[in-house]
Amino acid sequence: MNAYRIVEVPAPAAADVTPTPAYLAISEIEAEHGRETVGHEDLADPPERLVAAAVPQRHSRHIHLIAVSDDVTDQPSEPAQVLGVASLDLPMDDNTHFAELWIGVRAAHRRRGIGRELWRAAEEHVLSHGRTTVAGWSAHGGEATEAEEAVHAESGVGRIRAADAAAIFARRLGFTLEQTERQSTLRLPIDPQTLQAWRLEAQSVAGQDYRLVQWVGRTPERWLEEMAELNRRMSTDVPMADLDMQEESWDAGRVSDYDDRRELRGMQTVLSAAEHVPTGVLAAYTFVVLPRDKPEVAYQENTLVRAEHRGNRLGLLVKAANVEQLADRFPQVRRIHTWNAGENEHMLAINIRMGFQVAAVEGAWQLRLTPRG
Ligand SMILES: CC(C)(COP(=O)(O)OP(=O)(O)OC[C@H]1O[C@@H](n2cnc3c(N)ncnc32)[C@H](O)[C@@H]1OP(=O)(O)O)[C@@H](O)C(=O)NCCC(=O)NCCS
């Protein structure tokens, strides 16, 4: 007999509505998971951010399915009535075959079949939205050691402990480990002279054809088209192993819509790019986002050097310059968290040089479903 059932959380009408107990619970589940894997809550979404992200909008759809105790008739009135969550993210502009999934069950309610029931409900949604590939990322305190039984990434690199609950769970459901990502953290402040020395070294290799362009907040009108092109390339040029993700379609309108979304979610962008002066294109960029609710934290987002401009130290140039800009404008930030594919050697080399320390490893799991006839 099940003492729980699965219900869908209604999408909020606006980004600033008060979070319902369901959103409070999802945030608690993410925070508990953070404490278990990395020992902190820096990576968990507060309820207000979850609400803002779940408002229906053009480019992607977020669905939260929750397992509630069976005394709940409709929606929970207390966060404690929520035992677990399955969060789905469905891209709408491109990759309409794809769904991203995360399942979390409160530690006190695991091994009761709740995770599997959440997956069954999520699979229904995935198929009814015409999606045939599902991928999910699991977090682990570290890679499997040589002495431990491991699951090896099929198409990328890295190994996850076979005995970790997430690995057992994902494999039982039929998912394959395709890739691993390193989650690393850079602790701030860094000596300003060291940062400046990195930037000057990189600028001297890059030469006078490249000039730094920086901003905080929304993308200036002048760079919207360039940002669209950089974001498109980010979807094709980053190592993806056999994760079934296709090229994203970007235009200036989508760049601007994403700026709106970040603002609604309480995230501020801090960006550094390198303009190739003779052609006026942005040859490289990197940006971090700062959550207003966690003033000591920054999340590293995209970093990319266009293929035709690689080998000119632009990666180090934009990254060092962006940390300088961050230290100058937001000196309260103490930690930058970043994620890199295990096989992304050039990016990892820059991060290691800058002092990023590995904090966790994530497994990228994928399952291909048979479409409904
Ligand atoms: C992974 C997680 C969601 C599993 O939830 P759960 O409710 O405990 O899972 P279920 O009870 O439905 O178990 C489903 C299957 O996985 C197996 N399983 C799950 N956790 C296990 C563990 N720790 N040890 C052995 N088997 C385990 C179950 O035996 C069951 O197999 P079966 O149906 O063939 O008997 C839960 O441990 C969790 O929330 N972990 C933290 C978040 C996370 O890592 N999410 C996964 C992202 S991919």
pLDDT tens per residue across span 89-112: 999 999 999 999 999 999 999 999
Does residue 139 sit in helix, strand or coil?
A: strand
Residue 319 identity? K
> In this structure, what token pair is assigned to residue 97?
């075959």
Instruction: Name the residue of 43, 83, 100, 111 whose CB sits within 8 Å of the most ligand 1 atoms, as the mutation to test its pocket.
Output: 111
Q: Tokens representing 246?
A: 């296709």
Rounded Cα distance between 154 and 166, Å, is 17
* Distance (Å) from CA 112 to ligand 1 centroid: 9
**Is the pLDDT assigned to residue 1 strictly greater than 70?**
no
Q: Is the pLDDT of residue 373 over 80?
A: no
pLDDT of residue 371: 84
Q: Which domains does the chain have, with CATH numbers?
A: 4-181+364-368 (3.40.630.30), 189-333 (3.40.630.30)
pLDDT in tens, 14-50: 999 999 999 999 999 999 999 999 999 999 999 999 9
Could you tell me the pLDDT band of residue 344, with boundaries at 50, 70 and 90?
Answer: very high
The mean pLDDT of 124-152, rounded to a whole number, is: 96
Name which residue sits closest to atom 17 of ligand 1, judged by CA: 169
Handedness of CA 18, 21, 26, 27 (dihedral sign): positive
Torsion of CA 146, 152, 158, 160, to 10 degrees: -70
Q: Which contiguous run of DSSP H or E holds residue 299?
A: strand 297-305
10 Å Cβ neighbour count for 179?
Answer: 25
Q: Which residues line ligand 1 (CB under 6 A)?
A: 33, 102-105, 110-116, 136, 138, 165-166, 168-170, 172, 365
Instruction: Kindly give the distance from the C-alpha atom of residue 170 to the centroid of ligand 1, in angstroms, as a whole number.
Output: 8
131 secondary structure, DSSP code: -
